[in-house]
Amino acid sequence: MIEKYSSCLEKKEEKRERLLPPLENAEEGKVVMRFAPNPNGPPTLGSARGIVINGEYVKMYDGKFILRFDDTDPRTKRPVLEAYDWYIEDTEWLGYEPDEIIYASKRIGIYYKYAKELIELGGAYVCFCKQEEFKKLRDAGIECLHRNKSIEDNLEDWESMLEGKFKEGEAVLRIKTDMKHPDPAIRDWVAFRIIYESHPLVGDSYFVYPTLDFESAIEDKLCETTHILRGKDLADSERRQRYIYTYFGWAYPITKLWGRINVYEFGKLSTSGIKREIEAGKYKGWDDPKLPTVRALRRRGIEAEAIRRFFLSLGIGENEVWVSMKNLYAENRKIIDEKASRYFFIWDPVEVEIEKLPEERKIKLPLSPSGGERFLKGENKVLITRDDFEKFKGQVVRLKDFCNVLLEKKAKFLSFEIGNVKKGRIIHWIPLSEAVPCKVLGEVEAEGFCEKNVGRDVGKVVQFERFAFCKIENANSEVLAIYTHQ
């Protein structure tokens, strides 16, 4: 059995060429993992890590992948209705089709049953302490008055909670842990609280909402989750939730944590932070190409495979990492370079007239490293960028694949052959008659003209030579391109 398992693993690793460390106690075909976001915005690069790592392990062991929405706070972390689909969409786009999708908010009724059982087991009690009062007691390690009520009283109070007899903040259901636990964060934590607020998904169905720790503890059991991979910020969750598992006699899944990820270019990735900046007008929306959301990255032409490799290379260490988008770009470049069509884009254009051009020619240029060709009209009026014009004015340059000229506003034609023009003196150009206005938006923005051939690659990433890779978003009277990366 063990032999079978390890040889199987080796094969997989060879095939996938990647190196996630084996999961503890993982059995081929029996692994169940979940990615559990709160849909209060679209997935960011941070969420993508959870999707990729969990999804990748599931693939590695041919297991089951669950997408679960931990959406049990209609107020503080209020879910956004559209975001549910955004998560599904982006998860699939990243290459991990969920085997099952769970909406915690739709299953609150189920959690009530477990809460009741827990009370009957003496593992939970309804507490009427004010929040600050309890905090003081907790820090001092002192049990509150409500902790030792009879099970009957607790059941009755719980019913009253569910019937709406209490106001917000008046009563909560606490899990009985250990008021002397060395870590105060573990002591008698809240499992249910009262929130009279309509939920974006389930409306007014409930007003007694479970906290993440309760909901997650029950769901992980119901779904038979075998392995939990989550951020280090949730480290205490395991210690809290274990109390529930102990009361019920369940076995807790194997957990592994990873540290927080920071991207140089964006700092800490926080959905609520981005939301505020969008509202403040700093960004145009969740898919603003300057944003590190999955949809924005997709829009600008980052491939799912690049994101996958990027996170795999980051590994799953427990320390906080500071990583640069350059690493993601490098992965992406490796994928797109080969297939991206090459086009000329002239930013900040200068019109140059070539005097004494002997004839107009149809100029053939390579389309991409993997082959193909494109054509430009070699005529006597061309656009080049001001940068090149200023730099090479009065000197000999070659208009790539077209001709050599002595560069001036009225340039002198020298030859069609390249002669001995050196590297670095070959510049890009567009015939005036085939120039289409073009705007580049995103991390780098520019305006100018590109060749009309670009129209063939709408929706694709192209390389504007000597500029950058860009994704052509549309090409009507004007070309709109989203800056991908260099």
Q: Within 29-88, which residues bind RNA (CB under 7 A)?
A: 36-38, 70-73, 75-77
Q: Which of 11, 16, 135, 165 binds RNA (CB under 7 A)?
A: 135
Q: Which is nearer to RNA, 264 or 285 (CB)?
A: 264
Q: Does 390 bind RNA (CB under 7 A)?
A: no
Q: Does 193 bind RNA (CB under 7 A)?
A: yes
Q: Which is nearer to RNA, 294 or 427 (CB)?
A: 427
Picking from 311, 313, 410, the residue whose alpha carbon sits closest to that of residue 357 is: 410
Per-residue binding string, RNA, 356-385, x by CB under 7 A, is -------------x----------------
Q: Which of 11, 130, 165, 284 binds RNA (CB under 7 A)?
A: 130
Q: Which is nearer to RNA, 139 or 478 (CB)?
A: 139
Q: Does 168 bind RNA (CB under 7 A)?
A: yes
- The DSSP-derived string for 114-180 is HHHHHHHTT-EEEE---HHHHHHHHHHTPPPGGGG--HHHHHHHHHHHHHT-S-TTT-EEEE---TT
Q: Which is nearer to RNA, 13 or 401 (CB)?
A: 401
Give the binding range for RNA (CB under 7 A) out of 3-11, 219-227, 421-429, 446-454: 421-429
Give the binding range for RNA (CB under 7 A) out of 87-95, 115-123, 142-150, 178-186: 178-186
Residue 34 CB-density burial (10 A; 0-12 exposed, 13-18 middle, 19+ buried): buried
Give the binding range for RNA (CB under 7 A) out of 57-65, 84-92, 189-197, 289-297: 189-197
Q: Which is nearer to RNA, 21 or 249 (CB)?
A: 21
Q: Does 255 bind RNA (CB under 7 A)?
A: no
CB-based contact 387:348 (threshold 8 Å): yes
* Residue 19: alpha-carbon gap to chain centroid: 21
Cα 204 to Cα 195, 208, 380: the distances in Å are: 10, 10, 71
> How many angstroms separate the CA atoms of 231 and 259, rounded?
6
Residues 280-339 touching RNA, rule: CB under 7 A, are 313-324, 326-327, 330, 333-334, 337-338
Q: Which of 2, 424, 476, 477 binds RNA (CB under 7 A)?
A: 424
CB-based contact 367:463 (threshold 8 Å): no
Other beta carbons less than 10 A from residue 414's beta carbon = 17
- Nearest approach in angstroms of CB 37 to RNA is 6
Q: Does 259 bind RNA (CB under 7 A)?
A: yes
Q: Does 105 bind RNA (CB under 7 A)?
A: no
> How many angstroms separate the CA atoms of 160 and 222, rounded?
27
Q: Does 460 bind RNA (CB under 7 A)?
A: no
- Which residues make Cβ contacts (< 8 Å) with residue 475, sequence separation at least 6? 436, 454, 455, 458
> How many angstroms separate the CA atoms of 362 and 177, rounded?
81
Q: Which of 66, 346, 427, 475 binds RNA (CB under 7 A)?
A: 427
SS3 391: helix
Q: Does 157 bind RNA (CB under 7 A)?
A: no
CB-based contact 225:174 (threshold 8 Å): no
Give the binding range for RNA (CB under 7 A) out of 4-12, 145-153, 282-290, 423-431: 423-431
- Nearest approach in angstroms of CB 468 to RNA is 8
Q: Does 225 bind RNA (CB under 7 A)?
A: no
Q: Does 129 bind RNA (CB under 7 A)?
A: yes
Longest dimension (CA), the chain: 103
Q: Does 122 bind RNA (CB under 7 A)?
A: no
Q: Does 209 bind RNA (CB under 7 A)?
A: yes
Q: Does 19 bind RNA (CB under 7 A)?
A: yes
Q: Does 159 bind RNA (CB under 7 A)?
A: no
- Nearest approach in angstroms of CB 459 to RNA is 20
Q: Which is nearer to RNA, 204 or 478 (CB)?
A: 204
- Nearest approach in angstroms of CB 291 to RNA is 19
Residue 139 one-letter amino acid: D
Q: Does 134 bind RNA (CB under 7 A)?
A: yes
Picking from 446, 433, 482, the residue whose alpha carbon sits closest to that of residue 462 is: 482
CB-based contact 23:254 (threshold 8 Å): yes
Q: In what order do the strands lie in the sheet with 227-231?
A: 100-103, 64-69, 32-35, 227-231, 254-258
- Nearest approach in angstroms of CB 481 to RNA is 15
The alpha carbon dihedral of 257, 263, 268, 270 has a sign of negative
Q: Does 398 bind RNA (CB under 7 A)?
A: yes
Q: Which of 89, 156, 401, 443 binds RNA (CB under 7 A)?
A: 401
Q: Please tell me the count of residues contacting RNA according to CB under 7 A.
A: 79
Residues 226-245 touching RNA, rule: CB under 7 A, are 232-237
Q: Does 179 bind RNA (CB under 7 A)?
A: no
Residue 96 one-letter amino acid: Y
CB-based contact 139:179 (threshold 8 Å): no
Q: Work out whether strand 261-263 and strand 321-323 pair parallel, antiparallel, or are unpaired.
A: parallel
